[in-house]
């Protein structure tokens, strides 16, 4: 059996993270990348499978670039040179590292190519949050944790790619507005000059989730950035547009599996 690879080839440190589990065949980690942070081109000597739970991310590899503003599943084979830009919201990532000599297609059905899949189904996101919750608690048996991680990887293998084609310009404008503030959706539809029903249907078709879900995730991203910067939880909640700290915590647990206070402790 191969030994677990060491990980990263020492790019500039722009993240706070922690390895939460190390098993015989995989390890799992959580990382927070600060808003505006970047990582120059670098490689890993392990396969990396990543779940973008919250935030924004641009990644360049093989002469191409992908920009993400919604939860996504990424696969980076060992040795792939890539660079990252974490945008204005920062990014919360749950990562699973696998030995570089593992046959990805045979082991878990993942093609050994660089790719981000931008339409993970809600059950898969729920599995990711559940795994992070278990990892954060640190109370489960190693065999149970590893089994849960393999189940998540199996679900990731069936994740769909983004819709083909180019979305209408109003979709990108609407996303930008929602990332800035929690605008009422009827107002936002009027700003873009489209009927609210057409707005909701078109937004979901191109973005992969209803605009109300995108808006809540954008609020969560703003709140997590404040928490990571050391802002008190109650102030971070209000800054992000939540009613109070309890509301912020419920949303974070629902989308990420852990409350902001626990996440802050993990990344301290």
**Under CATH, which architecture does the 15-157 domain have?**
Sandwich (2.60)
Per-residue pLDDT of the chain (268 residues; tens, 9 = 90+): 334 444 434 333 457 889 999 998 999 999 999 998 999 999 999 999 999 999 999 999 988 899 888 889 999 999 999 999 998 889 999 999 999 999 988 888 888 788 888 877 778 889 999 999 999 998 889 999 999 999 999 888 777 665 667 889 999 999 999 999 999 999 999 999 999 999 999 999 998 889 999 999 999 999 999 999 899 999 999 999 999 999 999 999 999 999 999 999 988 8
Please tell me the distance from the alpha carbon of residue 265 to that of residue 192, in angstroms, as a whole number. 41
* Whole-number CA gyration radius for the chain: 18
Tell me the domain boundaries of the chain. 15-157, 169-207+209-267
pTM: predicted TM-score of the whole model, two decimal places: 0.86
How many CA atoms within 13 Å lie on the side-chain side of 45?
9
3 state DSSP class of 268: coil
Point out which residues pair with 72 in neighbouring strands.
52
How close are the terminal C-alpha atoms of the chain, in Å?
A: 34
Please tell me the distance from the alpha carbon of residue 130 to that of residue 114, in angstroms, as a whole number. 25
Q: What is the CATH number of domain 169-207+209-267?
A: 1.10.10.60
């Amino acid at each position: 059996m191969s030994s677990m690879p060491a990980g990263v080839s020492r790019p500039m440190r722009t993240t706070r993270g922690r390895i939460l589990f190390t098993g015989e065949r995989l390890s799992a980690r959580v990382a927070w990348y600060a808003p505006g942070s970047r990582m120059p081109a670098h490689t890993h000597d392990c396969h990396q499978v990543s779940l973008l739970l919250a935030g924004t991310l641009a990644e360049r590899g093989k002469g191409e670039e992908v920009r993400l503003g919604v939860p996504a599943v990424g696969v980076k084979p060992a040795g792939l040179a890539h660079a990252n830009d974490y945008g204005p919201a920062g990014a919360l990532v749950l990562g699973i590292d696998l030995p570089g000599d593992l046959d990805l297609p045979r082991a878990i059905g993942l093609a050994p190519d660089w790719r981000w899949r931008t339409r993970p189904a809600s059950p898969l996101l729920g599995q990711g949050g559940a795994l992070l919750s278990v990892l954060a608690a640190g109370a489960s048996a190693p065999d149970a944790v590893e089994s849960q991680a393999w189940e998540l990887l199996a679900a990731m293998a069936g994740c769909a790619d983004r819709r083909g084609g180019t979305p209408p310009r109003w979709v990108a404008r609407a996303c930008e507005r929602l990332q800035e503030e929690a605008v009422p959706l009827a107002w936002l539809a009027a700003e873009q000059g489209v009927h609210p029903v057409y707005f909701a249907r078109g937004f979901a078709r191109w973005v992969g989730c209803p605009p109300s879900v995108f808006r809540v995730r954008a609020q969560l991203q703003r709140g997590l950035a404040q928490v990571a910067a050391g802002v008190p939880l109650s102030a971070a909640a209000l800054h992000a547009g939540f009613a109070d700290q309890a509301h912020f915590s419920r949303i974070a647990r629902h989308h990420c599996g852990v409350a902001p206070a626990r996440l802050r402790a993990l990344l301290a």
